[in-house]
């Protein structure tokens, strides 16, 4: 029998995922007695187009097998594509990309988490103060949420009330500056990864581990903005210098801090690169020290990166490649420098993001165009990924996070 091509395999999996019964998934989980972990999946859920999610999907994860079983759905047509917890994990917050017709702005929602069952109760929603909120995080002090509006080119600070509800923005910064060129400086040979350089596009916002500084990646401006944070006022104040640039057209998308607070890894969407920065936690200044491709040596063609994350033991950096449809891993050296180690096919099309479960044993790839989440076991010694054979059908998955 002829071995199916990679494209044919992906198409078959997408077809299977649409009708695979929950009973089959339960059989794959096994009957182990390990405590299950609750998972939440944000999706693209607005009607029309290619959006097939239904809101926030709640699943159970078996930490022994990496299996996921659907539990319930918090239905929403607002495209809750990004999710985050407060530190105590008593509340979940979503960035909702669907625009309010009257304002053109997206929204952010607050949910109370029922810790035993994992069920969610909607508390309230407020304006994100910009179109297309693509990322949201909670400041380490726990009193403010931070949101980046991709379509609106702005970032906002949202106070968190004592009951977990969100307040109206205490500060909004609308990015201005000169947009980068359409063609990335550092892209692979033959790349047509050209998008996002028409205007400012805030793609991510997060505080450094100390909470003294807040950084925001702007893909259109090819820079990472750096703010000093006033926790009493919920205000962003420009640092000196106020930003750090990446090569023109490369398009910074997401970044991640090392737990030591001194190393910052920035992922460029258009160039498919990781830049290792030295971060000074005393003054917020950033200095670049290394740039590596996220793709195997010799790759030519188009790719868009999506997500970057550290292993729980901070020994490896993982990154997702869309169109190449792979997760690559790089080892972290004693000075923070990276070494490309390997990559694994995502078993699906267009990995929008991925997450590592709280045990550090599994990585889950949200394959947006395949309408499924694929599970991989992590070799914690080498960092290597091995496909578990398990797919979980979820329409247009964007992100998965875990409650334990």
User: Which pLDDT tens digit goes with each residue over 114-140?
Assistant: 999 999 999 999 999 999 999 999 999
Closest CA to 361 of 61, 26, 24, 25: 61
**Pair type for strands 362-367 and 372-378:** antiparallel
Closest CA to 220 of 250, 265, 187: 250
Helix or strand holding residue 12 (H, E): helix 6-19
CB 295 within 8 A of CB 322: no
The whole-model pTM stands at 0.91
Q: What is the mean pLDDT of residues 82-88?
A: 97
As given in the structure block, the two tokens for residue 300 are 């030519």
Q: What is the mean pLDDT of residues 371-389?
A: 98
CB 273 within 8 A of CB 253: no
Q: Provide the residue count of the chain.
A: 404
User: Which pLDDT tens digit goes with each residue over 42-73?
Assistant: 999 999 888 999 999 999 999 999 999 999 99
pLDDT band at 5 (very low <50, low <70, confident <90, very high): low
CA distance readout (Å), 126 to 94, 99, 103, 132, 159: 11, 12, 12, 14, 11
User: Which pLDDT tens digit goes with each residue over 167-184?
Assistant: 999 999 999 999 999 999
Question: What is the DSSP code (8-state) at residue 168?
Answer: S
Whose structure tokens read 């930003």?
A: 243
Question: What is the DSSP code (8-state) at residue 5?
Answer: P
List CB contacts of 70: < 8 A, sequence separation 6 or more: 22, 25, 57, 58, 59, 392, 394
* Sheet of strand 372-378, all strands in order from the earlier edge strand to the far edge: 351-356, 362-367, 372-378, 385-393
């Amino acid at each position: 029998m002829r071995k199916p091509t990679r494209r044919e395999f992906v198409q078959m999996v997408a077809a299977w995922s649409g009708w695979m019964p929950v009973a089959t998934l339960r059989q794959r989980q096994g009957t182990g007695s390990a405590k299950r972990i609750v998972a939440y999946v944000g999706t693209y859920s607005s009607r029309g187009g290619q959006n097939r999610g239904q809101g926030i999907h709640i699943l159970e994860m078996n930490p022994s097998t990496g299996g996921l079983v659907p539990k319930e759905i918090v239905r929403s047509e607002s495209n809750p594509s990004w999710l985050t917890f407060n530190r105590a994990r008593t509340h979940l917050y979503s960035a909702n990309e669907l625009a309010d017709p009257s304002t053109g702005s997206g929204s952010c929602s607050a949910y109370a988490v029922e810790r035993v069952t994992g069920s969610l109760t909607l508390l309230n929603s407020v304006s994100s103060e910009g179109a297309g909120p693509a990322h949201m995080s909670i400041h380490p002090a726990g009193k403010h949420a931070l949101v980046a509006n991709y379509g609106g080119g702005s970032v906002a600070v949202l106070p968190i009330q004592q009951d977990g509800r969100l307040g109206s923005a205490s500060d909004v910064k609308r990015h201005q500056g000169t947009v980068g060129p359409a063609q990335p400086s550092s892209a692979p040979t033959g790349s047509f990864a050209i998008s996002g350089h028409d205007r400012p596009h805030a793609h991510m916002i997060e505080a450094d581990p100390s909470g003294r500084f807040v950084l925001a990646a702007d893909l259109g401006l090819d820079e990472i903005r750096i703010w000093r944070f006033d926790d009493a006022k919920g205000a962003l104040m420009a640092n000196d210098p106020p930003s750090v640039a990446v090569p023109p057209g490369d398009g910074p998308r997401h970044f991640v801090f090392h737990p030591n607070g001194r190393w910052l890894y920035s992922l460029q969407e258009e160039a498919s690169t990781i830049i290792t920065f030295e971060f000074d936690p005393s003054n917020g200044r950033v200095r670049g020290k290394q740039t590596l491709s996220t793709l195997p040596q010799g790759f030519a063609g188009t790719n868009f990166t999506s997500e970057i994350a550290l292993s729980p033991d901070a020994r490896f950096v993982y990154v997702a490649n869309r169109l190449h449809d792979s997760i690559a891993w790089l080892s972290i050296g004693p000075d923070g420098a990276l070494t490309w180690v390997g990559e694994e096919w995502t078993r699906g099309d267009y990995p929008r993001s991925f997450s590592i479960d709280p045990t550090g044993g599994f990585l889950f790839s949200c394959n947006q165009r395949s309408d499924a989440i694929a599970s991989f076991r992590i070799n914690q010694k080498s960092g290597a990924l091995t496909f578990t054979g398990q797919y979980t059908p979820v329409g247009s998955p964007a992100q998965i996070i875990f409650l334990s």
